[in-house]
Amino acid sequence: MAHISSIKQFTSQKHIAVAGISRTPHKFGNAAFKELKKKGYTLYPISHHLEEFEGVKCYRDVSALPDDVSALLISTKPDQTRMLLDEARRKGIRNIWLQQGSADKETIREVKDAGDNVITGECILMFAEPAHFMHRTHAFFKKLVGNYPA
């Protein structure tokens, strides 16, 4: 389970890259990008297939990101995640959010062992303020059953 201090460290970053932007409209990466943009974050979409998303220039990979990007939200298939993590390390990005389903247990263990600030097993939309009613409700029930990060 992620620690609330790690989550706050990630959500305090203002320049976040989002990997998992897709031409398919209902993918989580797209929804997360739109919500985080509304919350005032400066976002950098990563996509091999799109030139721009929601009016924002897309980057083909992590290495092409501007130097002020300090965090990476990953919402990709696990086979793509390992490459993104390697690129993030080379770029110096140490705040990583692995959205549920984006990494296998071995990859999660490796990235945590590297000393990065890594959040797993949580939905970023529950913690990026202000959270919508649905996400606040989800947080309430997680607290109720003792499954909320401490």
CA atoms of 138 and 120, how far apart (whole Å): 16
Percent of the chain whose pLDDT exceeds 90: 85
Average pLDDT over residues 122-149: 92
Please check the confidence at residue 1 and state whether its pLDDT lies above 70. Answer: no
| Beta strand residue intervals within 31-102, DSSP E | 42-46, 52-53, 56-57, 71-74, 95-98
3-state secondary structure of 73: strand
* Residue pLDDT, tens place only, 46-101: 999 999 999 999 999 999 999 999 999 999 999 999 999 999 999 999 999 999 99
The domains of the chain are located at 4-125
Which is the CATH superfamily of the domain at 4-125? Answer: NAD(P)-binding Rossmann-like Domain (3.40.50.720)
- In terms of Cβ atoms closer than 10 Å to its own Cβ (0-12, 13-18, 19+), residue 111 is buried
